[in-house]
């Protein structure tokens, strides 16, 4: 358009057919140049964008690989943590169970220690009273064998005589045979 109306195929065809073909060639070269001038920066921008995209994709792939690795490590650590927590809970339950047993054993020991004093006193008293067992047994057997069927007054009188007789013979008797 800027070349004028005469510089066209029709305008040159009136003058010469060869010049008209050359004119078409020049017009096409100029149009190609205009397109190249417009397209080349776009091609350059496309190359730069493609390079940037490839670099970003590489970084993204590296980041995804790192994220996958970190997720695998996290999963491993979570598994170890869960295992440790289960083990901790089992140990805590066992400790609670042991503490309960210890408390119960302590209560039993305390109860038995109180009974231990009673048992010690009983054993000490039984040792002292062991001497009286044959005499007291003799009085009880005599009562059951000879006077069990009589009146109370007669029975008490007989028991007193048994005790008096055994005392004279030196048989040890308890305070209340």
Q: What value does the mean pLDDT take over residues 112-136? A: 77
Dmax over CA atoms of the chain, in Å, equals 182
Separation CA 66–CA 60 (nearest Å): 10
Helix (H) or strand (E) holding 127: helix 17-129
Q: What value does the mean pLDDT take over residues 94-120? A: 86
Q: What value does the mean pLDDT take over residues 119-138? A: 78
pLDDT digits (tens, 9 = 90+) for 44-82: 999 999 999 999 999 999 999 999 999 999 999 999 999
Higher pLDDT, 114 or 98: 98
Asked if 136 and 177 touch (Cβ cutoff 8 Å), the reply is yes
| Average pLDDT value over all residues in the chain | 87
Separation CA 160–CA 113 (nearest Å): 41
Q: What pLDDT is attached to residue 2?
A: 57
Residue 3: pLDDT over 70: no
Higher pLDDT, 95 or 114: 95
Q: What pLDDT is attached to residue 47?
A: 95
Residue 88: pLDDT over 90: yes
Q: What's the count of helices (H) and strands (E) in the chain, helices before strands?
A: 4, 0
Q: What are the Cα distances from residue 85, in Å, to 37, 82, 90, 93, 96?
A: 70, 5, 8, 12, 16
């Amino acid at each position: 358009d800027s070349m004028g109306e005469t510089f066209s195929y029709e305008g040159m065809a009136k003058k010469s057919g060869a010049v008209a073909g050359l004119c078409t060639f020049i017009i096409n070269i100029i149009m190609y140049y205009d397109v190249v001038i417009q397209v080349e920066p776009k091609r350059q921008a496309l190359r730069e964008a493609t390079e940037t995209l490839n670099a970003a994709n590489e970084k993204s792939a590296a980041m995804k690989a790192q994220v996958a690795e970190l997720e695998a490590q996290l999963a491993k650590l979570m598994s170890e943590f869960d295992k440790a927590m289960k083990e901790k809970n089992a140990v805590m339950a066992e400790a609670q169970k042991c503490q309960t047993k210890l408390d119960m054993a302590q209560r039993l020991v305390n109860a038995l220690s109180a009974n231990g004093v009673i048992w010690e006193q009983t054993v000490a008293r039984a040792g002292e009273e062991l001497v009286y067992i044959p005499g007291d047994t003799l009085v009880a057997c005599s009562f059951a064998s000879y006077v069990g069927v009589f009146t109370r007054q007669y029975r008490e009188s007989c028991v007193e005589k048994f005790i008096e007789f055994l005392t004279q013979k030196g048989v040890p008797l308890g305070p209340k045979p």
